[in-house]
Amino acid sequence: MTSTASSPLRTGADPARPPQHLIDAIVTAALAEDAPWGDITCQALIDPDLTTTAVVTAREPGVLCGTSAIEAALRLTDPRIEVVFPRADGTRFDAGDVLAEISGPAAGILTAERTALNITQRLSGIATMTRDFVEAAGATRARIVDTRKTTPGLRVLERWAVRCGGGSNHRSSLSDAVMVKDNHLALLAVEGPAALTAALLAVRSRLPHTVHVEVEVDRLNQIEPVLAAGVDTIMLDNFSLDDLAEGVRRVGGRALVEASGNVRLDTVAAIAATGVDIISAGALTHSVRSLDLGLDFVPPGAAAGRA
């Protein structure tokens, strides 16, 4: 049984959260990895009827993401475990804040502990870094988005964490949008503006009208031939700040403009100020540090901590 305290960021179901069956599948695999034949320490040491209470506490500040992963790890280990979340995903917390209040069979809590923390620490780290990038971009038009540089098997959760941090998602896979990059064009031996436009028009002719087409360019003189093919988004890859601003001017609203490459927390504000629509940052998922969260048992009669 699980409940979440009321929050201004959550009213009813969270539309940003992945479907529960996908969360359960990832958590089930993680639990099986951690205890393939059961938790032999708990089996040998802990009375299966022993019940207790515990809390997940933040040991540093951040942005929360992963409450459903904590709930799934506990429920899938022992459905008798109950958990309450004083905070919703996407909210900030400080060091010392209680993020989850747990009660039930002690052995099950111990068995689920590491899986629950591993996932939530990573997701909260992604959400926290994303929030920093979003705040650095300030009131510009630029959206901060992730990339496909995600941990294999965890993409759906890591993309959720980006949303919890206030960011947006790029294409979720190779199957749901066309992105023509330099290596694609190199394999086709595309040379010259007319050949580039013709190649992209051929791509468009083979696709349903509902498919989004994005093309990566690395030089300003590629913009007009790409726009002539009617693409939806142009990615300006590793452009200088001056060239990004010039690229936005040349596109002139005829397509979305995405900036990619050399996107760090100390560069994102200047990139956003060039007027681009989208800033994609692989660092949100491939270079993130997991936050430090801990699970501790609460002695009988002791306060659970500050929420």
Walk me through the domains of the chain, giving residue ranges and CATH numbers: 2-134+289-297 (3.90.1170.20), 137-286 (3.20.20.70)
Catalytic residues: 114, 149, 181, 216, 237
Which residues are CB-contacts of 303 (< 8 A; sequence separation ≥ 6)? Answer: none
**CA atoms of 103 and 80, how far apart (whole Å):** 9
Does the pLDDT at position 37 exceed 60? yes
Q: Would you say residue 291 has pLDDT above 70? A: yes
Q: Which of 63, 89, 70, 66 is nearest to 9 (CA)?
A: 89
Averaged pLDDT, 294-305: 74
How is the chain split among helix, strand and coil, in percent rounded to 5? Answer: 40, 20, 40
Q: In percent, how much of the chain has pLDDT > 70?
A: 93
Q: How wide is the angle at C-alpha 226 spanned by C-alphas 223 and 228, nearest 5°?
A: 110
pLDDT classification of 191: cutoffs 50, 70, 90:
confident
* Element housing 297 (H / E): strand 293-297
CB 263 within 8 A of CB 283: yes
Share of the chain above pLDDT 90, in %: 87
**Quick one: average pLDDT of 78-104?**
97
Q: Is the pLDDT of residue 93 over 60?
A: yes
**Can you tell me the mean pLDDT for 251-255?**
97
**219 backbone dihedrals φ, ψ, rounded to 5°:** -145, 145
Dist CA 304 CA 53 (whole Å): 9
- Judge whether residue 229 has pLDDT over 90: yes
Q: Give the pLDDT band (50/70/90) at residue 307.
A: very low
Instruction: State residue 38's pLDDT score.
Output: 94
Q: pLDDT band for position 301 (50/70/90)?
A: low
Q: What is the Cα–Cα distance from 114 to 120, expressed in whole angstroms?
A: 10
What average pLDDT does this structure show over 207-230? 95
The residues, ordered by sequence, that sit 6+ positions from 187 with a Cβ below 8 Å of its Cβ are: none
Is 60 exceeded by the pLDDT of residue 277?
Answer: yes
Q: Average pLDDT of the chain?
A: 92
What average pLDDT does range 255-278 have in this prediction? 97
Determine the Cα–Cα distance for residues 161 and 157; give it in Å rounded to an integer. 6
C-beta of residue 212 within 8 angstroms of C-beta of residue 231: no
How confident is the model over 190-206, as a mean pLDDT?
90
Evaluate if residue 111 carries a pLDDT over 70: yes
Mean pLDDT of 178-201: 88
Predicted confidence (pLDDT) per residue in 1-26, tens digit: 554 443 333 333 455 789 999 999 99
Whether pLDDT at 300 is above 80: no
pLDDT over 50 at 138, yes or no: yes
User: Are 67 and 123 in contact, with CB atoms under 8 Å apart?
Assistant: no
